[in-house]
Each structure stands twice: as structure tokens, then as C-alpha cells.
């Protein structure tokens, strides 16, 4: 089978992480438009190395290479090998990171390259790999710049990251805003093991997610009898070790319920019955300079839950303070705790915020709308 | 009855479950008539035959796959030293085995992506 389209990402797919939801939506749109295609992603574990669904083919890279740079370069080579059989028929190659992009932007290609920038590794890897030298991150930045320069269109999920991309010299006309979205869930049943009253955190466990702040916040809400914190982590249990240690030190561990790698529809049910959803993103370069487009905020609003989030430019793009929830300065546990406390004391106003949040998603931030915008980007490439 | 164990689904994965018509001559898994490729191979083995070996322990993969890709892309860069520009010092920070290395372990459910939503 020779494909007209390919979508490549250095991400595990499918998985319980937000990136997998995003990949599913974007790749589905691409393959709908081009009558199928090749999805090149990370595999391993139980996932098959190759899979075919009608006109769609999934190839998964599962080489166990411990060093990230070695692994990324091997992935690049693997992508090159997998694109090679389709070189003559390929019309669009959609990529999510520089190592996926590198083989796609090679000389002699006849296809167009769409580079979807959800984050910039040169900024993000400084946080996830604190021992990486600035000179190393500089090399990664150069790699990003090279791939962005040679791409035909750059898709960004927020204006903040659009600015970061323009700063790297990408001309305005190549940058297209395709916001993240959510599907508004119908009525969901309360999870059987849900506590009476709880606030919820949904997402991964990296340091920039601000879970340490959230633990300190919860310590300040110790007087609220019966209130529990539910953490729906999209990563396996052992990733939570540092946060759980901190919770024990702060004396809040016995008021926290942990759920790990729940399927998406179960997370939606947990969200829908929470008193508030908290997104305590820290005010670090990763969140401020490159921005982010936190799915947790969009999905919480879609579930009709008021959101208490850090006041970051990327979050402001999605929600308004006092309208859909509360925005508080980042890294300030006292202020975050106060905002949650006020929300809990005014349940009618909180419910109204939740309703307005849901309407806001229905009006402008659905996956259907995001996909329509992506389709428009593909149309501009065809011209 | 032996059932077809081919994985199906795009976002939510499951097993085919139809009655198996035979077993794949390469990996011996049961395959139904709808999923058997010419020669009776399962879709995974059939697709894999379209590509060269991806086994990192296979010396030809190490010796040829990466090298010929590196050569090709270094022409793209017009810089034959591009890949060697990530030296041991650069790579050292990305070795696994310490608590800081959030992306350092390698398991089926680990963080593997470079960026997160």
C-alpha cells in the first residue's frame, strides 16, 4: 500500500496522555482528507509493531534504546526508512517534533510538510532533563530552526507558542493557529468510588505541572472536613513517587485519592462530578515562553466544572477569570487555596461558572472546529 | 475454537476475535480469513516484510540503517559532522538512571514524547 499522507510523532500511541488524544484527532483529519495514510509513532509493550485498519497503517517504533538522544536519532532513521516506500506518492507529511521532521524535510521531496509545534524541545527538555547543558539545548534549538524553516506550514495550538515560533524566524504567513479542543460529554454517572466532595487534578506529573504547589494548597485546606483531592494521573504510578513523598511530608497524603492511567471516558466522569478542577501550572519558561495549551483546562470546562488555574498567557487564551473559573498567580499556594475556598463557599456561582465554561467550549473549542481549521491548512497547501 | 488475535482499532485497541482460518507462517499467531495476507501472514509480519529489518540488535540494522540515513541527511545539512555534533558531553545528560531523568526510563507506559499538551 502506498500512501498520500503520513503523520509522524515521537509519542506513544494510543495512550492515556493528552498528546494521544491530540494525535488521534489530527491524524484522523489528515487521513480522512487523503484517503488513509501512514501513522508513525512510538510503541512497545503490548502494542503491535504494524497494524492496518482499512486504508490506514500504523507503524510503531519500539527499539529499546536508553539514551534519549540516541533513541531520537534512531527514531529519525526509522522514520526515514518508513517514509521511503511512499516517497513518490506522498503529498503531505505531518510531524510533531524535530526528529520526526528531519527525514520529512529532506531535499528532493515533492510532498508538503506540516510541522505541528505543541512545544519546543529546546525549551521543554531544559525542564525534564535539568542536567542538559545550555550548549546542548542550543544544538537542539538549531535543529528546530532548521526543520521549521524548511516546513511548508507550522501549526500551533496557542498564540503564545505561535510567538515563540515566529521568534525563531518562521514567517507570519506560515504560522496557523489550530487550538486544542474537547468533545462535550453527555451526562455521566458518578464514579462508584468517588468521595462525597472532591477537587480534581487531571494530567501528567512533570515538575512544571505544579503538583508540588497543589500539595501545599491542599495542606492549607485541611480545615475543610470531608474535602478530598482526586489526582487522575495520565502516567504510571511510579512517576508519582516524588509528589506522594511531598504529600506525606505535608500531612495531606491520607486525603488524596490516586487514580492512574484511567481511560478517557472515566476521567470525564471524575471531572464532571468534581467541585472544581485545578491546573496549578508553574510560571516557568516552559509554560511562559513556549506556552502550552493545557487540555486539562479545556476538558474540565467541557465537563462543566469550574477551573482554578494559574494565570498564564496560554491559559488566558482558553478561559476568563471570574467567567469560567478563577485565574490566580502561578506558584502561590496561598492564593490558589483562597480561590478554591471561595469557590467552594459559593456553590451556585461555581456551578454557573461550570455551565458558562461548557458553553464556551461548545461555541468555540470543540475538536470539530479544530479539525476544520486543520483542514483549511491542508487546503492552503493544495493551492 | 481458535480466534484471530490480530489487534484492531485506531484509538481504542482490541482483538479481532473472529474464527481463525490458519496461523501466520512467520510468527504462528492465529489469523482469520479477513486479516490473512497473501501467503497467510498476519498483517504485522506482512507489513514488516515491506520494510527492512528494524531490530536494533541485528548488526545490519546498526551498520546500515542508521549510517545510510545519517549520510543522506548530512547531505541535506551540507554538514557531514551534523550527527557527531551531539557529542558524549551532550548525550551524557540524557542517560537514564536518576530521579531527574523523567524521560530516562524506557517502558511501555513511560513519558516518551518530547513535549506535552
Average pLDDT in the A221-239 region?
92
pLDDT recorded at residue B91 = 80
CB A168, CB A147: distance < 8 Å? no
A157 contacts in chain B (CB < 8 Å): 117
Per-residue pLDDT reduced to its tens digit, A185-220: 888 899 999 999 999 999 988 888 999 999 999 999
- Residue A48 is nearest to which of B7, B52, B70, comparing CB atoms? B7
pLDDT recorded at residue B102 = 45
pLDDT at A308 over 60: yes
Question: What is A84-113 written as a DSSP string?
Answer: GGGTTT--EEEESSHHHHHHHT-TT--SEE
Average pLDDT in the A82-98 region?
94
Average pLDDT in the B42-63 region?
69
Helices B66-77/A68-83 angle, 10° precision: 90
Q: How many CB atoms lie within 10 A of CB A46?
A: 8
pLDDT at B80 over 60: no
Per-residue pLDDT reduced to its tens digit, A149-197: 999 999 999 999 999 999 989 999 999 999 999 999 888 899 999 999 9
Most confident of A209-218, B6-15, B76-85: A209-218
Average pLDDT in the A126-150 region?
88
- Residue A128 is nearest to which of B92, B102, B109, comparing CB atoms? B102
Q: Could you report the predicted ipTM of this complex, rounded to two decimals?
A: 0.70
For an interface test with A, give the residue of B9, B26, B74, B114 to mutate (most A CBs within 10 A): B114
User: Higher-confidence residue: A115 or B12?
Assistant: A115
pLDDT recorded at residue A317 = 93
Q: CA end-to-end span of chain A, whole Å?
A: 26
User: Higher-confidence residue: B113 or A181?
Assistant: A181
pLDDT recorded at residue B15 = 86
Question: Average pLDDT of chain A?
Answer: 93
Radius of gyration for the alpha carbons in chain A, expressed in angstroms and rounded: 21
A129 CA to chain B: closest CA distance, Å?
6
Three-class HEC string of B40-72:
CCCHHHHHHCCCCCCCCCCHHHHHHHHHHHHHH
Average pLDDT in the A279-292 region?
88
In chain A, positions 115-134, which contact chain B (CB-CB < 8 Å)? 118-121, 124-125, 128-133
User: Per the structure block, which three cell numbers stand in for A207?
Assistant: 515538575
pLDDT range class, residue A282, cuts 50, 70, 90: very high
CB A175, CB A156: distance < 8 Å? yes
Give the separation between CA A216 and CA A218, rounded to whole angstroms.
Answer: 5
The region, left, alpha or beta by phi > 0 then psi within -120 to 50, assigned to residue A332 is: beta
Per-residue pLDDT reduced to its tens digit, B20-31: 999 988 888 899
What percent of chain A lies above the pLDDT cut of 90?
A: 74
User: Per the structure block, which three cell numbers stand in for A362?
Assistant: 461548545
A180 contacts in chain B (CB < 8 Å): 117
Per-residue pLDDT reduced to its tens digit, A246-260: 999 999 999 999 999
Cβ burial of B114 (10 Å; 0-12, 13-18, 19+) is buried
B69 contacts in chain A (CB < 8 Å): 76-77, 80-81, 103
pLDDT range class, residue A85, cuts 50, 70, 90: very high
Radius of gyration for the alpha carbons in chain B, expressed in angstroms and rounded: 20
Amino acid at each position: 500500500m502506498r500512501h498520500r499522507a503520513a503523520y509522524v510523532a515521537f509519542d506513544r500511541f494510543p495512550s492515556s496522555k493528552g498528546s494521544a488524544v491530540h494525535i488521534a484527532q489530527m491524524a484522523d483529519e489528515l487521513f480522512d482528507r487523503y484517503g488513509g495514510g501512514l501513522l508513525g509513532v512510538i510503541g512497545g509493550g503490548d502494542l503491535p509493531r504494524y497494524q492496518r485498519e482499512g486504508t490506514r497503517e500504523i507503524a510503531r517504533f519500539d527499539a529499546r534504546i536508553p539514551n534519549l538522544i540516541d533513541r531520537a536519532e534512531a527514531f529519525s532513521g526509522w522514520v526515514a526508512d518508513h517514509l521511503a516506500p511512499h516517497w513518490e506518492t506522498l503529498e503531505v507529511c505531518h510531524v510533531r517534533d524535530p526528529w520526526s521532521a528531519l527525514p520529512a524535510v529532506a531535499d528532493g521531496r515533492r510532498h508538503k510538510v506540516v510541522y505541528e509545534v505543541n512545544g519546543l524541545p529546546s525549551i521543554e527538555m531544559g525542564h525534564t532533563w535539568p542536567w542538559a547543558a545550555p550548549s546542548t539545548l542550543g544544538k537542539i534549538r538549531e535543529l528546530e530552526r532548521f526543520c521549521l524553516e524548511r516546513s511548508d506550514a507550522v501549526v500551533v495550538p496557542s498564540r503564545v507558542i505561535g510567538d515563540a515560533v515566529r521568534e525563531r524566524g518562521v514567517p507570519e504567513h506560515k504560522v496557523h493557529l489550530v487550538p486544542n479542543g474537547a468533545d462535550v460529554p453527555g451526562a455521566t454517572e458518578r464514579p462508584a468510588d468517588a468521595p462525597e466532595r472532591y477537587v480534581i487534578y487531571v494530567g501528567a506529573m512533570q515538575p512544571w505541572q505544579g503538583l508540588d504547589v497543589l500539595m501545599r494548597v491542599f495542606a492549607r485546606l485541611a480545615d475543610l472536613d470531608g474535602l478530598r483531592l482526586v489526582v487522575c494521573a495520565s502516567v504510571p504510578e511510579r512517576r508519582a513517587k516524588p509528589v506522594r513523598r511531598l504529600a506525606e511530608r505535608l500531612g495531606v497524603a491520607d486525603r488524596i485519592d490516586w487514580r492512574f492511567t484511567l481511560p478517557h471516558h472515566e476521567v470525564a466522569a471524575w471531572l464532571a462530578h468534581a467541585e472544581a478542577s485545578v491546573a496549578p501550572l508553574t510560571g516557568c519558561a516552559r509554560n511562559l515562553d513556549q506556552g502550552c495549551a493545557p487540555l486539562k483546562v479545556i476538558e474540565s470546562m467541557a465537563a462543566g466544572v469550574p477551573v482554578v488555574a494559574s494565570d498564564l498567557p496560554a491559559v488566558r487564551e482558553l478561559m476568563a477569570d471570574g467567567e469560567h473559573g478563577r485565574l490566580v498567580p502561578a506558584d502561590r499556594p496561598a492564593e490558589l487555596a483562597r480561590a478554591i475556598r471561595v469557590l467552594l463557599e459559593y456553590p451556585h456561582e461555581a456551578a454557573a461558572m461550570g455551565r458558562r465554561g461548557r458553553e464556551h467550549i461548545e461555541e468555540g473549542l470543540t475538536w470539530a472546529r479544530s479539525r476544520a481549521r486543520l483542514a483549511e491548512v491542508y487546503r492552503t497547501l493544495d493551492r | 475454537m481458535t480466534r484471530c488475535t490480530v489487534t484492531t482499532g485506531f484509538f481504542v485497541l482490541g482483538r479481532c476475535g473472529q474464527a481463525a482460518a490458519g496461523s501466520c507462517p512467520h510468527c504462528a499467531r492465529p489469523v482469520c480469513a479477513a486479516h490473512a495476507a497473501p501467503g497467510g501472514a498476519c498483517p504485522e509480519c506482512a507489513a514488516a516484510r515491506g520494510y527492512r529489518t528494524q531490530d536494533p540488535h541485528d548488526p545490519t540494522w546498526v551498520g546500515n540503517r542508521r549510517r545510510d540515513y545519517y549520510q543522506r541527511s548530512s547531505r541535506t545539512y551540507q554538514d557531514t559532522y551534523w550527527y557527531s555534533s551531539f557529542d558524549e558531553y551532550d548525550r551524557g545528560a540524557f542517560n537514564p538512571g536518576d530521579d531527574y531523568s523523567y524521560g530516562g526510563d524506557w517502558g511501555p507506559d513511560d513519558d516518551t514524547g518530547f513535549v506535552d499538551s
